Amino acid sequence: MGKIAAPDEVLYHIGISAQMIKGAKYALLPGDPGRVEALAKALGPAEPVGCHREYTSWLSQVEGEAVLVCSTGMGGPSVAIGMEELACIGIENFIRVGTTGSIQEKVALGDIVINKAAVRLDGTSQHYAPTAFPAVASLELTYALQQAAKDLEVPYHTGISVSSDTFWPGQERYDSFTGYVRKALQGSLKEWQALGALNYEMETATLFVVAQSFGLKAASICGVVAKRTDSEQVAPADTYRLASERFQLVAKRALQDLIKAGK
């Protein structure tokens, strides 16, 4: 058992307490604070509970139980800080809900990617477990997301993410300020493609390793808003909306199933 905060203690970074989340055991973690309200309202009746730094929090209701939606900002460090404090106020299940860029031809814009594992191309997870330790999702949460996508007939893919601390060099993008990608990363996109990785994003490896080190559960579901096999550009607004609608629907159905099953 880890550290548990006093019920009324407002945690320094996330700006909320255990009392404020009304017994919630599940947290959906989008990166963008601007995505929190819509995601919370898509789950059910919702209300804001906190806003501090990158951590905007709303509390929603699914099958009569409280579910927290809390943004984490971009990248591993803020994910780990949020998870540390959320665990202290009683969250046991963490589901990343975000956007991603696909690197396989079969993964289309607007599709959903459910990551079962992640390449640890980050730095934060190294502070929780050695490099040889795998970044893997909870089988239970991952299966619930897969089944929800099937039931809703949402196109989805399950596979490995490449989690990078950087948006440009770590993902071998050359449209940065300098256009420079260090030699060790040149050709890395083709390597990950050859190994069957599905997507690039910036948080999942940290999420999985930190949750495992805590003895808690984590999963990740992302909507595809860039297709690297076609273009470096983010998709138009209508595709972004489609991806968002799909991951909202899938996350809600998965939570309904998990809560009904008492998990």
Catalytic residues: 13, 85, 173, 228
Q: How far is the C-alpha of 257 from the C-alpha of 53, rounded, in Å?
A: 32
Would you give the DSSP letter of residue 5? -
Q: What are phi and psi of 210, to 5 degrees?
A: -65, -45
Give whole-number Cα distances, 66 to 13, 143, 204, 210, in Å: 21, 21, 24, 23
Report yes or no: 154 and 191 within 8 Å, Cβ to Cβ.
no
**d(C-alpha 49, C-alpha 16), whole Å:** 7
CB 169: neighbour CB atoms within 10 A?
19
d(CA 208, CA 132): 14
| Residue 146 amino acid letter | Q
Largest CA distance in the chain: 53
